[in-house]
Amino acid sequence: MRLPPWLWRFLASRKTRVVLLSSPFAICLSVLLFYFAASWWGRSQAERLVRDMESAGYAVDPVKYWVPAINPQEDLFSDPVYLKELRDPKLVRPTDLASFPHGAEPALARLSDVGSWFDPRMADEDAAAALYLHRQQEAVERLEELRPVLARSKEAVWPAGPDVDFPSVSKAMQDLGLSSLAAGQLALAQLILGESDEAAGAVKAMLDVSRLMLEPKPNLFSLTLARFSMEAAIAVIWEGTIRGSWTDDQLREFDRALAGLRPRQAAVKGPLGEIAHLRPDIRGMISNYPQALPSVSGSWFSGWSWDRDVIWENSREILTDLQPSGLELASKAKAHREFLDRAILFDRESKDHFTREDFESFRELRASSVNRNSPHSADAFLLLKRYAEEGLLMDARIALARTGIALERHRLREGNSLYPAKLEALVPDFLPAAPMDPFSGELLRYRLQADGTPHVWSVGENFTDDSGMPHQDFEEGDLIWITRPIPGFTEEDLRR
């Protein structure tokens, strides 16, 4: 195909050659303009968010947020016994034992089978428990030293100050959480050997740790560790109930400690701890921006060339230097703002706990967010959803445990293994009010099995009543409290 004469004349003209030769420079100039415009936009959005956080009256400096509100010398984390534990941890760090047994359904999984903790497995449970305690004698002694320290946990706040950074706070929480889980292992072994007073003391210490993590300055990390600590304590309470090991006085102490935990309230206030870390996060992103393009002072103006390949190579260098881009920062600032606005909404409404409706609304917010395609926005709403999950899940576990304790106290009083026909019969002698399921807003489900033993359950995170059937995947099954295995449901069903 021959080109028309006018097109040949246009391509051969001097003006066209100049335009074609200069087009790479025009593209590179556009890249430069876009880079600086995007950087200005992202930076301005991020700095505006920081100003808005400060004007809203929130602590946006993590050091200030974590500053102790009491005399540091009176704080748990300054106690010599606790500091000794951090420097030289002796509580259980088993190398020859299996991991801590699964804490979901102790009656089904038989968590107290200490023999299964050893390799090779020991058939005699009492012998296994005795050997375990013998190997961990130092841990038992250290736990005895820690108990009076943990008893003061209600007065404690997380350590902070000019010389304390957030990683050290996280380390303190993690070590405390590991100590609590270790106490759970020791308590189970003590329970098997009939040392219920020692086991009860360890349970109380674990519940004190949970309260410490929930009360002063909660964040998602502390809530998660509190759940592990609390569920380890509840597993021991459950096992002792199955074995008939607890006295009424011990059960009353457990109930009092569980009643003092406020996980859903901590979940509402927890995002304020996340807000405290938004400012340094954003400031860090801004400071990581290239203040000027390295290629501008490097290869762009030096050795000026009309070689098109050199021009495009320099353009690629500029594009490489656009990390992170201003638009990316603006996107993250927008996601942070959505998170901030939602957290402020809870705070200003003086809401005291997450509800099922809140849990569902976070899913809807994620789907309807104008910034929903941004991974940062996904992270922001996932974070809120995680808070709601932790608060509701912990509250359901506490409600089940307190109900189980009340049922056992009722049995001890009535004798002959009698349990009430309805949970309302536990009020007011053993519970101040009928136990509610935070996932449904209704009473916990309850029935007496064929052998007369009680089965109590919460509908769980799927908001569906699965007839009290548990599942390894918590989003599919119910959360349960039983005193005997469920007929027709085996350990293999639980672990599949």
| pTM given for the model | 0.79
Largest Cα–Cα distance of the chain, in whole Å?
110
Give CA–CA dist 452/454, Å, rounded.
7
Q: Which pLDDT does position 458 carry in this prediction? A: 93
3-state class (DSSP) for residue 191: helix
CA neighbor of 435 nearest in space, from 456, 453, 409: 456
Burial of 41 (0-12, 13-18, 19+ CB in 10 A): middle
Q: Which pLDDT does position 494 carry in this prediction? A: 61
Intra-chain end-to-end CA distance of the chain, in Å: 70
The alpha carbon dihedral of 58, 62, 63, 69 has a sign of positive
Q: Which pLDDT does position 192 carry in this prediction? A: 87
| Residue 220 C-alpha from the chain's centroid | 4
CB 28 within 8 A of CB 318: yes
Q: Which pLDDT does position 252 carry in this prediction? A: 97
Helix axes 14-55, 5-12, angle to 10 degrees: 70
H or E segment to which residue 149 belongs: helix 137-150
3-state class (DSSP) for residue 351: coil
CB 384 within 8 A of CB 341: no
H or E segment to which residue 371 belongs: none
pLDDT tens digit at each of 496 positions of the chain: 466 776 666 666 766 666 655 566 666 666 667 767 777 888 888 888 888 888 888 877 776 666 554 555 566 666 777 777 766 655 555 444 444 444 445 545 455 677 777 777 788 889 988 988 888 887 777 777 777 776 665 555 555 444 445 566 666 667 777 677 778 888 888 988 999 999 998 898 889 888 878 877 788 888 888 888 898 899 889 889 888 899 999 999 999 999 999 999 999 888 887 887 777 777 777 776 554 444 444 444 455 566 667 766 766 665 555 555 677 778 788 888 888 888 888 888 778 888 888 888 887 776 665 554 455 555 677 888 888 889 999 999 999 999 999 999 999 998 777 899 999 999 999 999 999 999 999 999 999 988 888 999 999 888 889 888 876 555 677 888 887 777 777 666 666 5
